[in-house]
Amino acid sequence: MSLRLRNALGLLAGLLACSPAATESPAGPPALRGFNFTHEGFRGGGGGYGTPEAALSMDHMVATGANAVAVVPYGFISDPVQPAPIRIPRRGDGESDARVRATIRMARERGLRVLLKPQLWVRGGWPGDIRMADEDAWGRFFHHYGEWISHYARMAASEGVEIFSIGVEMAGASHRTEEWRALARRVREDFRGSLVYSANWYQEYEQVQFWDALDLAGVNAYFPLTRSEDASDEELGRGAEEHYRGGVAGLARRSGLPVLLTEGGFGTSAGPWRQPHASDEEALAVDARDQARAYAAVVGALEGQPWLAGVFFWKWPSHGRAARPGRASFSPLGQPAEGVIRSWWSPAAEDS
Overall number of domains in the chain? 1
How many alpha carbons lie under 13 Å from residue 56 in its C-beta half-sphere?
9
**pLDDT attached to residue 109:** 98
User: CB-hemisphere CA count at 13 Å for 135?
Assistant: 1
User: Considering the domain boundaries, does residue 22 fall inside one?
Assistant: no
The CATH number of the domain where 203 resides is what?
3.20.20.80
Instruction: Say what percent of the chain tops pLDDT 70.
Output: 88
Q: Quick check: is 69 in a domain?
A: yes
Residues in the chain: 352
**d(Cα 52, Cα 58) in Å, to the nearest integer?**
10
Under the banding of pLDDT at 50, 70 and 90, the label for residue 164 is very high
Q: Within a domain: residue 21? A: no
Averaged pLDDT, 108-126: 97
Q: Which of 304, 216, 220 is nearest to 261 (CA)?
A: 220
Average pLDDT on 243-247 reads 97
Residue 107 lies in a domain: yes
- Provide the pLDDT for residue 8: 42
Do the domain assignments include residue 112? Answer: yes
What is the Cα–Cα distance from 148 to 195, expressed in whole angstroms?
A: 16
Helices (H), the chain: 3-17, 52-63, 97-109, 135-158, 177-188, 204-207, 233-241, 249-255, 288-302, 336-351
> CA 288, 45, 291 angle in degrees (round to 5)?
10
Distance CA 233, CA 65 (A): 25
Rounded Cα gap, residues 61 and 160, in angstroms: 21
Residue 73 lies in a domain: yes
How does DSSP classify residue 129? G
pLDDT of residue 280: 63
Q: Quote the domain boundaries for residue 192.
A: 3-15+32-351
Answer yes or no: is 27 within a domain: no
